[in-house]
């Protein structure tokens, strides 16, 4: 296993749409394993393949707060089948460090995906897990959580992030 580089905003890979995974081979299994290690080390509760520079429809999630409670979820080619309700809550992102903002999401989602053994699953998730699933699936389509914020807040954040990137490049 390896800790991968997490690409930071405004890296262009974060805005690209990911391709479906055809065959779940050893390279995909290794990627999933490396992504889990990277997510835990960051630390975070979710990570999408584009965040590590891979444009494949793969996400890893674990909302456990304690290492002893870990329950990793690997989703390949996930798709939301159904969503209901709405809840607004604070989000952050490993690709946009130290930036947080309120985002409205569905309170409940039903998602279909493949696991590493190519078994099809359907999962109904609520609250935090539903939020994380929606956040990570957005990454697969090149959408960042800041895109879901109000225009005023989003424009202010993007301006601050551009300034921060310019300073870091010096």
Q: What are the residue numbers of the active site?
A: 136
* Residue whose structure tokens are 């509760």: 45
Beta carbons of 88 and 103 less than 8 angstroms apart: yes
List the Cα angle 70/62/17 in 5-degree steps: 155
Strands 58-61 and 46-48: antiparallel
Q: How many CB atoms lie within 10 A of CB 106?
A: 19
List the Cα angle 83/57/131 in 5-degree steps: 35
Q: Residue 52, SS3? A: helix
Q: How many CB atoms lie within 10 A of CB 114?
A: 19
């Amino acid at each position: 296993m390896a800790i991968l580089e997490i690409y930071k905003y405004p890296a262009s890979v974060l805005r690209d749409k990911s391709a479906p995974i055809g065959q779940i081979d050893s390279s995909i299994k290794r990627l999933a394993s490396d992504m889990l290690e990277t997510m835990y080390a960051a630390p975070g509760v979710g990570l999408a393949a584009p965040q590590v520079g891979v444009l494949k429809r793969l996400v890893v999630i674990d909302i456990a707060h304690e290492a002893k409670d870990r329950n990793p979820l690997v989703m390949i080619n996930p798709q939301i089948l159904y969503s209901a309700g709405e809840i607004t809550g604070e989000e952050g992102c490993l690709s946009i460090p130290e930036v947080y903002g309120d985002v409205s999401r569905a309170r409940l989602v039903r998602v279909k995906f493949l696991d590493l053994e190519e078994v099809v699953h359907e999962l109904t998730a609520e609250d935090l897990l539903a939020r994380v699933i929606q956040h990570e699936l957005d990454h697969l389509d090149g959408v960042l959580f800041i895109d879901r914020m109000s225009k005023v807040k989003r424009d202010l954040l993007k301006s601050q992030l551009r300034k921060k990137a310019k300073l870091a490049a010096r």
